[in-house]
Amino acid sequence: MSVMTVEGFNAYYGSAQALRDFSIELQAGEILCLLGRNGAGKTTALKAIMGTVRPESGRLVLNGVDLTGSRPEEIPRAGIGYVPQGRRLFSELTVWENLEIGLMTRGQGREGLDYALELFPVLKDRMKQRSGTLSGGEQTMLSMARAMCVNPTVMMLDEPTEGLMPSAIAGIRDAVTRLRDGGVAVLLVEQRVDAVLSVADRVAFMDHGEIKARFHIDEVRDNKELLHRYVGVGH
Amino acid sequence: MNIAPYLLLATLEGLVQASVLMLTALGLSLVFGVMRVVNVAHGEFFMLGAVGAWICATLIPGPPAVAFVAALVLAPLFVGAIAWAADWAILKRIDYNPEATIVATIGLMYIIQQTTLWSFGPNAQAVDAPFYYTLRFPWFGYSTYKFFIIGAAVVLVGGLLYFLRHSKVGLVMRATQFDRETAQNFGISVGRVYSIVFAVGAMLAAIGGVLVVPAQQAHYLMGHDPLLLSFVVVIVGGLGSIPGTIAAAILIGMSDGLLSVFFSPTLAKIFSTLLVALVLVFKPEGLFGKAGR
């Protein structure tokens, strides 16, 4: 069943078109990965869904509710958890206060928090610590935990493994997989192809603000030519 | 010459000045910190608080304390409502653009000032203190009402800090201050937060005006000095830094009191202006601000 449908988003930065007819459909319990080079429009696509970049045209439907033209604060309340690029923690606030902001988004209780702390138990001992003083891996965990506190039906992650040690990447990958297995629809933006191939169910390649091609992960995994053509790796 | 009595008097006057300044400057700092709006009309909210106290004193019969308590409640509410309306009618329309809000609040300043002149008149008006009791020192007597100003400011600032640190609204305000876009990504209505912050900032200035008016007089131009000193405090303390604003208000208020008693009020103003210049040259982020915020 489709939980999120984005149809024909067109967005601009000044006169430059950043998104061209961007359309995706996400099912519950799947991971769709947006791949593409720097500047391909992946982050803009997520921001357009969140409403912080206003698309000039297009339609957004979440859980059967048409959210087209909604104010930015209404979109997360409808059930989207977002892990922005660079984590974007409230660095002067404590770990607990960051999580509290997530809990307040929909006010649906502590279920998401309990699940997040089960996935990232290290945060339990850091509750009173200022989030800006956490390590890079812990900051990513907190950013994910904060988004999970929303109790989302759709989780969007923008390069969550950026700048992390391999051990931390494995933890994030495991958390994303468990979210999917719990029935959450995941939209993952990544530049690291290896991080995608092991978790994604479907892949969409973006270039110049446009989705150029879509594949099931099995079609991509061993197709080096395809990967080279769209993201410059594989040879 | 025994300087002890002069020193005590200067310290007390400095503390009174610092207390009122702390309230007024905190309002300005809160608005800048969260909204990034330089509110040039902030002094007029202070003036409206003082005029509101005079209106209460004129209209409410009975002992002065009754009118004063009513003014402490009604004047900030009235000023908060004006600020809320100004935010809705002006600041939201220009999308809180930093340059445009400076020009817009200059306009707001003149509108409030001239409307007050038209309705209140050009004369300064005295307001009775809610109680008269003089504390006798060996060298001079000192109004206990001024101690009340200091106590009230400490309680209000303590309450504000507690509200910001421990309430959900305070948490939302701090989150919006740190990152507006991420706050929106978690369902925070930034527009509503801005309206609340602008109203709360104006109410703090209005309370300062109510508290000070029995010790001064209400006048339609009385907002200029508090505005100037609040800017000095906010720049010295660090733009948007609440602890910095409190520390700088005490520093500027105390220095103003001491220099005014021992030398002249003009020298006190020169000192605070010089301090701002030095801070801007050597520590532009302010004594308690963070570089690059």
Task: Give the pLDDT band (50/70/90) at residue B2.
Answer: confident
Kindly state the average pLDDT of the residues B178-183: 94
Where is A2: in which H helix or E strand? Answer: strand A2-13
Residue of A nearest to B173 (CA): A101
Separation of first and last alpha carbons in chain B: 50
> The tokens 């106290």 sit on which residue?
B53
Q: Note whether B178 contacts A105, CB cutoff 8 Å.
A: no
Which of B127, B155, B114, B15 lies closest to B71 in space, CA to CA? B127
Instruction: Supply the pLDDT for residue A233.
Output: 63
d(CA B274, CA B191): 37
Instruction: Supply the pLDDT for residue B239.
Output: 80
Residue B74 lies in a domain: yes
Are B54 and B198 within one domain?
A: yes
Residue B2 lies in a domain: no
Write down the mean pLDDT value for chain A.
Answer: 90
Residue B6 lies in a domain: no
Residue B20 lies in a domain: no
Calculate how close chain A gets to B164, using CA atoms only, in Å.
12
Cβ contacts of A71 on chain B, cutoff 8 Å: 189
Interface test with B, best of A85, A92, A143, A158 (most B CBs within 10 A): A92
Interface test with A, best of B186, B241, B288, B293 (most A CBs within 10 A): B186
Interface test with A, best of B178, B185, B188, B190 (most A CBs within 10 A): B185
Are B128 and B101 within one domain?
A: yes
Instruction: Supply the pLDDT for residue B257.
Output: 82
d(CA B24, CA B157): 11
Are B175 and B252 within one domain?
A: no
pLDDT in tens, A25-64: 999 999 999 998 888 899 999 999 999 999 999 999 999 9
Cβ contacts of B171 on chain A, cutoff 8 Å: 93, 97, 100-101
pLDDT in tens, A85-108: 988 999 999 999 999 999 999 888
Q: How many CB atoms lie within 10 A of CB B150?
A: 17
Q: Structural domain tally of chain B? A: 2
pLDDT for A223 beyond 80:
no
Cα R_g (chain B), whole angstroms: 19
**CATH no. of A1-79+154-235:** 3.40.50.300
Please give the single-letter amino acid code of residue A60: L
Are B251 and B216 within one domain?
A: no
pLDDT for B183 beyond 70:
yes
> The tokens 């390649």 sit on which residue?
A205
Ranking A45-54, A156-165, B1-10 by mean pLDDT, the lowest is: B1-10
Which of B198, B272, B251 lies closest to B33 in space, CA to CA? B198
Please calculate the CA angle B217-B222-B227 and round it to the nearest 5 degrees: 135
> The tokens 């593409």 sit on which residue?
A36
Q: Note whether B183 contacts A101, CB cutoff 8 Å.
A: yes
**Cβ atoms of residues B21 and B253 within 8 Å:** yes
Task: Give the pLDDT band (50/70/90) at residue B293.
Answer: very low
Are B57 and B107 within one domain?
A: yes
**Cβ atoms of residues B248 and B25 within 8 Å:** yes
Residue B23 lies in a domain: no
DSSP state of B87: I
As given in the structure block, the two tokens for residue A23 are 């359309």
pLDDT for B56 beyond 50:
yes
Residue B179 lies in a domain: yes
Kindly state the average pLDDT of the residues B37-57: 96
Instruction: Supply the pLDDT for residue A162.
Output: 84
Task: Give the pLDDT band (50/70/90) at residue A110.
Answer: confident
Kindly state the average pLDDT of the residues A167-185: 89
Are B182 and B247 within one domain?
A: no
**Cβ atoms of residues B180 and B160 within 8 Å:** no
Domain ranges of chain A: 1-79+154-235, 88-152
Q: Note whether A88 contacts B182, CB cutoff 8 Å.
A: yes
d(CA A139, CA A148): 14
Identify the domain containing residue B82 by its residue range. Answer: 32-132+160-222
pLDDT above 90 covers a percentage of chain A that reads: 67
d(CA B252, CA B239): 16
pLDDT for A235 beyond 80:
no
Cβ contacts of A76 on chain B, cutoff 8 Å: 184-187
pLDDT for B281 beyond 50:
yes
- Helix, coil or strand: residue A16: strand
Are B125 and B244 within one domain?
A: no
d(CA B98, CA B238): 18
Q: What's the sign of the alpha-carbon dihedral B161, B165, B170, B175?
A: positive
Are B237 and B264 within one domain?
A: yes
**Cβ atoms of residues A195 and A27 within 8 Å:** no
Are B241 and B291 within one domain?
A: yes
Which of B18, B117, B180, B70 lies closest to A84 in space, CA to CA? B180
Choosing from B222, B244, B266, the residue where a domain stops is B222
Residue B120 lies in a domain: yes
CA distances from B188 to A77, B18, B173, B184, B293 (A): 9, 35, 9, 5, 21
Cβ contacts of B182 on chain A, cutoff 8 Å: 84, 88, 90
Residue B146 lies in a domain: no
A interface residues, B as partner, C-beta within 8 Å: 50-52, 71-74, 76-77, 82, 84, 88, 90-93, 97, 100-102, 104-106, 146, 150
Q: Across the strands, what pairs with A204?
A: A34, A214
Q: Note whether A71 contacts B182, CB cutoff 8 Å.
A: no
Instruction: Supply the pLDDT for residue A34.
Output: 93
Instruction: Supply the pLDDT for residue B113.
Output: 96
Kindly state the average pLDDT of the residues A149-165: 90
Choosing from B188, B206, B222, the residue where a domain stops is B222
Of A82, A100, A106, the CB nearest to B185: A82
pLDDT for B279 beyond 90:
no
pLDDT for B246 beyond 60:
yes
Burial A200-217 (b: 16+ CB within 10 A, else e): bebbbbbbebebeeebeb
pLDDT in tens, A6-17: 999 999 998 899
Which parts of A70-223 are beta strand (E)? 80-83, 154-158, 185-190, 202-207, 210-216
Cβ contacts of A88 on chain B, cutoff 8 Å: 179, 181-182, 185
Of A51, A77, A100, the CB nearest to B171: A100
Are B123 and B101 within one domain?
A: yes
Greatest distance between any 2 Cα atoms in chain B: 66
Residue of A nearest to B188 (CA): A73
As given in the structure block, the two tokens for residue A48 are 């357009």
Cβ contacts of B175 on chain A, cutoff 8 Å: 90, 93, 97, 101
Are B187 and B229 within one domain?
A: no
Mark out the alpha helices in chain B (DSSP H runs). Answer: 4-35, 42-59, 64-86, 98-120, 144-166, 168-178, 180-185, 190-212, 224-237, 242-262, 265-282
d(CA B77, CA B87): 15
pLDDT above 70 covers a percentage of chain A that reads: 98
Are B254 and B218 within one domain?
A: no
Residue of B nearest to A143 (CA): B182
Q: Note whether B181 contacts A100, CB cutoff 8 Å.
A: no
pLDDT in tens, B94-136: 999 999 999 999 999 999 999 999 999 999 999 999 988 888 8
